[in-house]
Amino acid sequence: MKILILDSAQIRELLPMRDCIELMADALAALARDEIFQPLRTIIRPPQARGLLGLMSAYRTGEQGAFGLKAICVFPGNPALGKDAHQGAVMLFSRETGELLALMNASEITAIRTAAVSAVATCLLAREDAETLAIVGAGVQARTHLAALALVRSIKQARVVARNFEHAVELVREMQPRFPFPIEAVRTNEEAVRNADLVVTATSSLEPVIDKDWISAGAHINAIGTHSPNSREIDTGTMGAAWIFVDRRESALNESGDYLLAAKEGVVAPESIIAELGELLTGSQTGRTSPTDITLFKSLGLAIEDVACANYLHQKALSQNVGTWVNL
């Protein structure tokens, strides 16, 4: 049995952001149509460890059907070492025989597909005239979100803030040549977020990094950085004021500290979650109702997003003869 191995460079080559945005919309719509079997992720969080291990599995029926599993370690201290906080592999298995078909770099898939899902949410929820982007965080996700959101809205200005100002400056230095609009490194979260039409929170913070008083009427927020019941990037006031949308209700109600901590304070409840993105894509639910609505997409990241990417990459690698094959 031969296994396809794809590294990060090969994944970037085979999975451009624009293609991934379409792929994620298709996967989320399939989830809404009950074409996906996906249990909640399993988290292994030893108290002595510097990070955690997450196991994310899914199966999709139909022509794009496949079994898949992502095993991902999240080590918040990695960026200080010059490494992505997400480390792991995505495995793709045959739906016919269960044989392992491919092993792929999980960090690269996660970086691309997370931003692509936020782009889907932005397409569905942000005002058409949204043009000012604020990004809180200056890591891998800040970079991919800058690229993804520029594909779905006519951005005229972007501001980036990070705990270490030099990291924001480095992001600007690296990314500015790729975009026609100015990207500015700013020193405070408030300076970044005030008067922004689009806000991305992409941090590993345990405490809120934005404040309701900074959020403009009509803004759209993509909250993507936290994935633990005990951590949050979004303050209670913003959670209470926003129309909340998620990738999956079950994940939000069990895993999202942004939701769970605000719920503990009595500000939100399950019915505060208006819809899943897939429900908007299939037309069973509606999104923004007014230009002044504050909309918030809470992203937890779903296994089917990784499996859909892996299946697509496997097929494309076969057609283009890309990747390394090893005997198992």
Report whether 296 contacts 252 (CB < 8 A). no
Q: Residue 185: in which H helix or E strand, if any?
A: strand 183-185
* Burial per residue of 222-255, b for 16 or more beta-carbon CB atoms within 10 angstroms, e otherwise: bbbbbbbbebbbbbbbbbeebbbbbbbeebbeeb
- Going by CATH, does the domain composed of 125-301 fall within 3.40.50.720? yes
Angle between helices 17-32 and 140-152 (to 10 degrees): 80
Helical ranges in 153-227 per DSSP H: 165-175, 189-193
pTM of the model: 0.96
Element (H, E) at 222: strand 220-223
Q: What is the pLDDT of residue 74?
A: 87
Cα 235–113–310 angle (5° rounding)? 145
| Predicted pLDDT at 196 | 98
2-110+304-327: which CATH topology? ornithine cyclodeaminase, domain 1 (3.30.1780)
Closest by CA position to 121, among listed 310, 305, 292, 298 = 298
Crossing angle between the packed helical segments 140-152 and 106-125, to the nearest 10 degrees: 40
Residues of the chain with pLDDT under 50: none
Domain limits, the chain: 2-110+304-327, 125-301
